[in-house]
Amino acid sequence: MSLPTITQRATPVPRHDEPLTQASLCSLCPKLCRPTCPVAAATGREAVAPWRISDAVVRGTSSGWSLPLAEQVASCTGCGACGEPCLPGTNLAEESRAARAAAAAAGAVLPAGLAIRDRVATTGSPRRGTRPGRDDAGATTVLFAGCPADPSAALALFEAAGEPVRCAADEACCGAVAFDLGLVPEAAALAARAAAQLGDAERVIVATPSCARMMREEWPLLGVVGPPVVTAVEWLASALPRLSFVPDPAPVAWHAPCTLARGLGVVDEPLRVLAALGREVREPLATGRTTRCSGAGAAYPMVDANGAEAVAAVRRAELATLAAPVVTACASAAKALGATDLLALAASRLAR
């Protein structure tokens, strides 16, 4: 199945001071976004097309929020594909998150939100368990893995690069999942706790793209101050001169994660890393800023597991035509697509 991009914006879709007011713009548009929506295409449900989500936002804002409306606006993966052909410049991911927050504040909390709220109230975090940690003397850089990621590969790369780093075994949650489910007070509290754990770090290297986006874009709006954010792929690309790899010319199929490529603008760095590993890179037609969704966007699999799997199946079929193992740079996308994470691939090829 193909999800064509009709046009491509010269610049990324902007943020808006009043996210919910964007919804009314859809009534003025010829719906060029419709073919780009991975959820509508994979599930065949017109109710989750971008303009229908905006229609639900208008109804919720004007007439009051109900759980069915909250579930409809939560049917957005946040991939941002619909923003590419959008003539008015609607940022549906931003609009949808703001609508979920408004619905939750009105008492229409998503079932997944209730589960996360209970877990946070019980344990203090959505996360379960601990992972490997590290506390090198004199380290001013913190590695933040994020809930879905294992920091082991990144820690091995830091060690090989000779760069001291801190990584908490009991890493606090950045609040991205709670925020995506509309739980703004819980997200703000989690973000504040994570920022406090980062301490006086000069920068934070973030392995999970949705966590990097949360820290970079939403923390300031929540009044939370953290150090400068660098994605782990950007750090790895900059560290290549200090690393030595055993080259492997075998082909790989590259899946560009939506948040990393379209949301954060990190497009070339993963390809530089793969080139340094000696790999032949095969890319689908939809890649870079026009990449297609894996279905694993933020909290979407928690809201609609069947829809998330349908979206993932479309992308897996597209990548399968490249006849090579899939590599990506997002732990959630890797799980959805059966792919290898780029950091793990790089760590496995380190010259010992």
The pLDDT value given to residue 12: 63
Q: Mind giving me the DSSP string for 6-53? A: ----SSPPPP-SSGGGGGGGGGGS--TTGGG-HHHHHH--GGGSHHHH
Domain with 185 in it: 134-237
Q: Which pair of structure tokens corresponds to residue 163?
A: 């760069």
Domain for residue 209, yes or no?
yes
- CATH number of the structural domain spanning residue 150: 3.40.50
Tens-binned pLDDT, residue by residue, of the chain (352 aa): 334 444 555 566 666 667 777 777 776 677 788 889 999 999 999 999 998 999 999 999 999 999 999 999 999 999 999 888 887 778 889 999 999 999 999 999 999 999 999 988 888 777 666 788 999 988 999 999 998 899 999 999 999 999 999 999 989 999 999 999 999 999 999 999 999 999 999 999 999 999 999 999 999 999 999 999 999 999 999 999 999 999 999 999 999 999 999 999 999 999 999 999 999 999 999 999 999 999 998 789 999 999 999 999 999 999 999 999 999 999 999 999 999 999 999 999 999 7
The pLDDT value given to residue 132: 84
Domain for residue 199, yes or no?
yes
Neighbours of 222 (CB within 10 A): 19
**Do both 33 and 59 map to the same domain?**
yes
Tokens 């998330």, residue located = 308
Helices (H) and strands (E) in the chain, counts: 16, 9
CB of 54 closer than 8 Å to CB of 90: yes
Domain for residue 121, yes or no?
no
**Do both 165 and 85 map to the same domain?**
no
Domain for residue 158, yes or no?
yes
The pLDDT value given to residue 3: 42
**Total number of domains constituting the chain:** 3
**Do both 226 and 291 map to the same domain?**
no
Which residue type does 327 have? Answer: V
Domain for residue 272, yes or no?
yes
**Do both 162 and 70 map to the same domain?**
no
Domain for residue 155, yes or no?
yes
End of a domain among 185, 208, 237?
237
- CA dist 232 and 237 (Å) reads 9
The pLDDT value given to residue 53: 92
Residues 6+ apart with CB under 8 A from 129: none
The pLDDT value given to residue 91: 87
The pLDDT value given to residue 6: 45
For Cα atoms 132, 138, 141, give the angle at the middle one, nearest 5 degrees.
60
Q: Which pair of structure tokens corresponds to residue 66?
A: 């109900």
**Do both 199 and 257 map to the same domain?**
no
**Do both 282 and 201 map to the same domain?**
no
307: Cα within 13 Å, side-chain hemisphere: 26
